Amino acid sequence: MPISFTRIRALFAALVLGGLVAGCGVNTIPTLDEHVKSQWSEVQNQYQRRAELIPNLVETVKGFAAQERETLTAVVEARAKATQITLNVDQLSDPEALKRFQDAQQQLSGALGRLLAVSENYPELKSNQNFLALQSQLEGTENRIAVSRRDYIQAVQAYNTEVRTFPGRLWAWIYGAQPKATFETASENQAAPKVSF
């Protein structure tokens, strides 16, 4: 039984339509969304690494600087708060949830900065091998945090651009995709430092 010309045209039209749908970005939003989630996991991984280093750092400092109990307590409390505030991938479209997470992490960074500043007053602590190793690991982790946050911000930028521009906006409407929140610099970090001699 020969295939009719109408069937050939219908088959050709279906193939062309299928090709257009496949090539028009229908998979772009899910692909970018998965990339954002992957980058967020790396951000969380680096913050977790930092949180795991802190107890050892606190114990090392405690042995040398017992009178700095207030600073040590502030670090422990900031760590506890930072690890209690979690942000899963389903909350990445909520700027307030991301801000709460970011604020807790910034409080921990500030407390760690004060702890490391206190260590300057204790030469025997600064020469302790455990302290030096922990300080080096902490500095490396802070750098990794900065890199993973940058990568996350870039992934969110690509995703948000896709869901806000055509034809991605059409697919975002179909999927129900929302723009993702990103990190913002704290206002105190935007002020020029004051230098006085």
CATH superfamily of 28-181: LemA-like domain (1.20.1440.20)
- Across the chain, mean pLDDT equals 87
Q: What span, in angstroms and rounded, lies between the C-alpha atoms of 162 and 157?
A: 9
Average pLDDT estimate for 150-168: 95
Domain boundaries, the chain: 28-181
Q: What span, in angstroms and rounded, lies between the C-alpha atoms of 183 and 190?
A: 14
Judge whether 68 and 181 are in contact, CB under 8 Å: no
Judge whether 74 and 176 are in contact, CB under 8 Å: no
Q: What span, in angstroms and rounded, lies between the C-alpha atoms of 52 and 84?
A: 14
> Among 2-11, 27-36, 53-62, 149-158, which is the least confidently predicted range?
2-11
Q: Residue 42 is encoded by which pair of tokens?
A: 């790396």
Q: Is the bond preceding residue 167 a cis peptide, omega within 30 degrees?
A: yes
Residues 109-148: tens digit of each pLDDT: 999 999 888 888 888 888 888 889 999 999 999 999 999 9
Q: Residue 49 is encoded by which pair of tokens?
A: 């690494």
pLDDT value of position 162 = 95
Average pLDDT estimate for 150-173: 94
End-to-end CA separation in angstroms for the chain? 96
Output the pTM of the full model. Answer: 0.79
Judge whether 115 and 50 are in contact, CB under 8 Å: no
pLDDT value of position 197 = 46
Say if residue 186's pLDDT is above 70: no
